[in-house]
């Protein structure tokens, strides 16, 4: 089962890699609705799927509001 995590990057202007958990949703649309500014991100996860210990890229994770702003500028 695919779920969507929403998080918020803390202190993005300081280059921080810390983030705060916002919620888990059953659709990307609901996860995007929880985003309030360009510092919020969402990404898919599979229920009961264990990831390796080493850091791996979050495939299909993105910042919905930052992406929408980029589209509007062009």
16-70 confidence digits (pLDDT tens): 789 999 999 999 999 999 999 999 999 999 999 998 999 999 999 999 999 665 4
Specify the DSSP class assigned to residue 62: B
Specify the 3-state DSSP secondary structure of 34: coil
Q: Is 73's pLDDT higher than 60?
A: no
Question: Which residues partner with 46 through β-bridges?
Answer: 2
Beta strands in 1-74 (DSSP E): 2-9, 19-25, 40-46
33 is in which domain, residue-wise? 2-73
Predicted local confidence at residue 16, as pLDDT: 76
Number of domains in the chain: 1
| Contact present, 6 and 47 (Cβ < 8 Å) | no
Q: How confident is the model at residue 14 (pLDDT cuts 50, 70, 90)?
A: confident
Burial of 40 (0-12, 13-18, 19+ CB in 10 A): buried
Q: Which residue has the higher pLDDT, 12 or 49?
A: 49
């Amino acid at each position: 089962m695919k779920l969507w995590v929403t998080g918020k990057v803390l202190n993005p202007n300081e280059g921080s890699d810390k983030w705060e958990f916002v919620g888990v949703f059953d659709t990307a649309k609901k996860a995007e609705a929880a985003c309030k500014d360009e510092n919020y991100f969402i990404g898919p996860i599979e229920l009961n799927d264990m990831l390796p210990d080493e850091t791996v890229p979050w495939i299909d994770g993105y910042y919905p509001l930052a992406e929408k702003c980029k589209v509007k500028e062009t």
